[in-house]
Structure 1
Amino acid sequence: MSTRSRSLFVVALAALLGACSNAVPKSETPSDELPALILPADLVADAGQSRPVGASPDVTPDRGDDRVADNRPADPRPADNRPADPLRAGALVVAAPQPGSYALIIGIEKYRDVPAATGARGDAERFAEMARTTLGVPEENVRLLLDDRASKTDIAKQLRWLQSNVPAGGRIYVYFSGHGAPDPTSGASYIVPYDGDPQYLGESAMKMTEVLGDLEKTKAKDVLAIADSCFSGAGGRSVLAPGTRPLVRVEPVKTTARVVLLSASTGAEISGPSADGKGGLFSKYLIDAIGSGQADINGDGQISLKELEDWIKPRVKREAKRANRDQTPSVQVGKKLGAPADFIVSWGYAK
């Protein structure tokens, strides 16, 4: 075919297509699924076309990957203002407020005379946030003592404050994150305040049984005392005087009638850090359990002491084993408080 003949053919074809563009024949195939018109390559070149007829210049070709489209509507808010996913971000949930509750929270990381208890301050700050948000403790009822503001005198003053202010029928949460120490002679357990010295425990530290006794003297209906420390003298969050043997026989701490004692480990074990080294292993799971409501095992909208223990204990034991140590959280319940299943730690979680 000569060049002149080809040009005449293209012009005629274009006129024919223009005349038919408004008359779409009926078809069982939807119009947007009809195959594109195929023209001989030499005719397309002669007509000055750079793409096959029917192709769109704005369509990005399919790359053949396996991504799945997200059909959820886009959140118009800036990324910084969007609510966090509580399961991914570890966000605290809001449970029922407890207007009659009080919290004394102590976190000592930097000590005056003994090595640091890594992550203890952060543990206490996170617990305080959870106390306000999830446990619903009123802000004016929260006392937070950190580092050099947690001397023996500071802690003693706040225990007296609880005795003077907690009304009859109220509840107290006490949380301690820091070093514990055993008396090498008697095996008695002490919590070590900021200015504590393991060589002079009787003068500078606070015996656990005496702290629990001070809590028993309040008017509270019940007390949940939590200790992320250890008393074995074997390392971790436990300290000994220089020259003493690394492990002493620790006498079990006996709680009082209206106090629950939840400890990070048993007397002969080490209370160690979480895998990321940012805080205590026990505190990590404690805050996850209550703060996100994960310990509500039966889904009834509340967390009992038994559920809390059953959720925390296997996780702490498993992660401690991976670090080649033994750590077993323990619970003691005062004789006036009934069974662990009857002691409700927090409530009001969405079902």
Structure 2
Amino acid sequence: MNPVKPLLCFAVFLLLATPALADTCPVARDIAAQAVKDFEKDRTRGLQLFIKAESLCPEPEYAANLAMAYWRFGAGDKAIEAMEKAVKAKAEPQWQANLASMYIDAGKNPARALSLAEAAVKSDASSPRYAHIHTEALLLAGQNQKALETIRAAKSKWSSEKRIAALYDKVLDMRMAEGLKAIQEGKADAGMAVLSGLTFDPKGARTHALSLAALGRTDAALTAAISAEKSFSGNGAVKGLRDEIISKEIASMYAAFGRGERAQSVARAKALHEKYPDAAMAKEGYDKLFAAFIGDASSIDVPAPLARNRRTEGSGGQADALIETIWSPAQDLAPPVSLEKSELVRNIPKVSRPNPHAVAVIIGNQRYAAQGRGIVDVAYAERDAAVMKKYLVSTMGYSERNIIDLTNATNSDLLSTFGTQGNPSGRLRNFIRDGESDVFIYYSGHGAPGPEGRAAYLVPVDAHVDYIASTGYSLDVFYDNLDQLPAKSLTVVLDACFSGDSAGGALFTNISSMMRNVPGSRAVNNALVFTSADAGQVATWYPDKGHTLFTYYFIAGLSGAADVNKDGRITAAELSAYLQREVPHQARRGSGREQMPVMTGDPKRVLATLK
């Protein structure tokens, strides 16, 4: 007697069956053959025939085929029940593997799934599919390290199997993420213990080195980076790793220098340069810091870190996102908001001229990296927003209760405040008294070009670098909705650029220069619109003053520096001329960049009255 063969996978039914001892088995064979044909055209009809065939013949092969039909139909519990019946009748390795896979996909009974997978592998160690299922069963059982060992051995044995390679990358990424999460939770030793066991792989070696650097163990990080570059010569994951860490270390020195830790920063740079004399950026960093230190330079800007792939090839992506979370250079550039450190606060004019119906939205988007979505922080955005709010209250007479303060605004915050496409109804609209409210909107944070370079977006802190079009807030929608507001007057100030670059490094590494030339400003009804940079330019920071460059001069200008004729009134024309004089000069001096603020609207509008 030749038994009926079971389905080899979820997508293939075998047509052949042979007579069994039971009188009705020959009939069951014919019904099963018809079921195969019907199932591809009408799954309900096909499944009914499989059920009938299984009921007519006790051979386990019919139960196994029924299980696979149930599984393809989407009846998971019934599939498991039928396959359990088959496996109990006959310990066929393929059925054991299929049943384990069913439990894994359903996320149920990890102990049973692992037992079945182990039995299948024991019966046939030559099957890469069984090794794949065994690894997944280990993951379901929470045995991640053993899963990595298993799939690593399988990858070595079946190097050309794409599914094995993909699962290896997934499990490796999971283990890296476990180590990084432990570090993030303050369990540095436990986290590093996990990561140090992953240096057999270039991605693991990279994560290990960067994590050491993130913890301030710079010497150990650079030693690990050099070892990784030597062990995996030519591999993209570790190529230039030492210089990347040096770049990040130099960036943190610039930040510390800007916070006033000048001597310490120069000393750190000197030690780094002497230890790695062949690293050009270490020498450049020291030379620049030293020159600024002895020359008492007014500022020093952060050089863009070396470009790198945000997601290692084949990785699941968790580890890359967490690396951004536990260590972004911009985190060093963004100490907790302290208005006492801002000279602007000391110089804000106090004018007791209330504007009771005026409404403002103040947005300071600084802490992007903590979201783990591949976007660097914006240094000083929180402080910029806090000082701007103070200026509105102290000088322009805004009531604090009429200010919508969105520190680190999410996409839902922007939608609920400014409205959706075609519908401007939101918190801002609800605050406005028709024809009576002066409206002031300030945004400090990232801007970004769209994927085709034809649109621009404000970037909420929960946006994803790879999906800006769906997770950002459209600048066109922003302006369209503002156009419909019944405000007495409208002032919009955007301290953001839309080139895809930032003072903390590139947001995108794969967009063309044409796609970076997206303007951030446009005419809006009854509005003045100020943007910090022209199309294709970068909005830079001013570390020596503890603000972004544009906002520093914007508030300084409103506080009196722009009042050229000394009449106590700051017009849009005066402020624009002041910004276009001071910002480009300081941008070139501090960072060698071009930055030209842009204004649209009535140049005669009076923005502030200081007496």
Are 1:345 and 2:607 matched, yes or no?
Answer: yes
Residue 106, structure 1, aligned to residue 363, structure 2: yes
Give the secondary-structure state (helix, strand or coil) at the position aligned to 1:199. Answer: coil
Q: How many residues align?
A: 256
Q: State the partner residue of 2:550.
A: 282
Partner in structure 1 of residue 194 of structure 2: none
> What are the superposed Cα offsets for residues 82-118 of structure 1, whole Å, 9 maximum, x if unpaired?
xx9x999742112332222111000011112211011
Measured at CA, do residues 301 and 193 of structure 1 come closer, stay the same or move farther in structure 2, by a change above 3 Å?
A: same
Change (3 A) 1:115 1:88: closer
Match of 2:430 in 1: 164
Q: Does 1:258 align with 2:522?
A: no
Match of residue 214 from structure 1: 481
Per the alignment, do residues 184 and 134 of structure 1 end up closer, same or farther by CA in structure 2, a change over 3 Å counting?
same
Structure 1 234/219 Cα, relative in aligned 2: closer, same or farther at 3 Å? same
Q: Matches of 1:224 and 1:209 in 2, distance apart?
A: 17
Question: d(CA) in 2 for partners of 1:133 and 1:251?
Answer: 35
How far apart, in 1, do the equivalents of 2:455 and 2:492 lie?
A: 18
1:275-299: CA deviations, max 9, x gaps?
A: 5162210000111111x22222222
Q: Residue 349 of structure 2 corresponds to which residue in structure 1? A: 93
- 1:235 aligned to 2:502? yes
RMSD of aligned alpha carbons? 2.3
Output the CA distance in 2 between the equivalents of 1:134 and 1:210: 31
1:156–1:178: structure 2 CA closer, same or farther, 3 Å change rule? same
1:115 aligned residue (371, 376, 385): 376
1:186 equivalent in alignment to 2:445: no
Deviation at 1:304, TM superposition (A): 0.9
Question: Deviation of residue 128 (structure 1)?
Answer: 0.8
Residue 562 of structure 2: aligned partner: 295
Secondary structure at 2:392 match in 1: helix
In structure 2, how many angstroms separate the alpha carbons of the residues matched to 1:268 and 1:182? 10
Structure number with greater CO (CA < 8 Å, separation at least 6) is: 1
Of the candidates 149, 153, 169, which is equivalent to residue 412 of structure 2?
A: 153
Paired amino acid for 1:109? Q
SS at match of 1:248: helix
Partners of 2:505 and 2:496 lie apart in 1 by 7
Report the 3-state secondary structure (helix = DSSP H, G, I; strand = E; otherwise coil) of the residue aligned with 1:293.
helix
TM-score, normalising length from structure 2? Answer: 0.40
- Deviation (angstroms), 1:137: 0.6
Q: Does 1:305 align with 2:572?
A: yes
The 8 Å contact of residues 180 and 239 in structure 1, kept in 2 or not, is answered as: no
Give the Cα separation in 1 of the matches to 2:354 and 2:556: 18
Q: Which has the higher strand share?
A: 1
Residues 330-341 of structure 1 mapped to structure 2, 5 A cutoff = 330-333=598-601, 339-341=602-604
Q: Which residue of 2 aligns with 1:16?
A: none
Q: Distance in 2 between matches of 1:250 and 1:99?
A: 40
- In structure 1, what residue type is equivalent to 2:472? A
Q: Is the 8 A contact 1:182 1:240 kept in 2?
A: no
Aligned CA distance change for structure 1 residues 257 and 101 (closer, same or farther; 3 Å): same
1:142 to 381, 403, 412: 403
Residue 21 of structure 1 is matched in structure 2 by none
Query: What displacement does 1:234 show?
Result: 3.1
Quick one: distance in 1 between partners of 2:382 and 2:446?
A: 12
Structure 2 gap segments, 5+ residues each: 1-339, 419-425
- For the structure 1 residues 277 and 204, does the alpha-carbon distance in structure 2 shift closer, same or farther, using more than 3 Å as the test? farther
**Do the aligned partners of 1:180 and 1:191 also contact (CA within 8 Å) in 2?**
yes
2:441 and 2:545 mapped to 1: Cα distance?
24
- CA deviations 1:321-351 (Å, max 9, x no partner) are 1021100110012xxxxx312x11112x13x
Give me the whole-angstrom Cα distance separating, in 2, the residues matched to 1:275 and 1:110. 17
2:71 aligns with: none
Letter in 2 for 1:93: P
The whole-number CA distance in structure 1 between the counterparts of 2:357 and 2:568 is 20
Q: Corresponding residue for 1:61?
A: none
More helix by share: 2
Are the aligned partners of 1:230 and 1:237 in contact in 2 as well (CA < 8 Å)? no
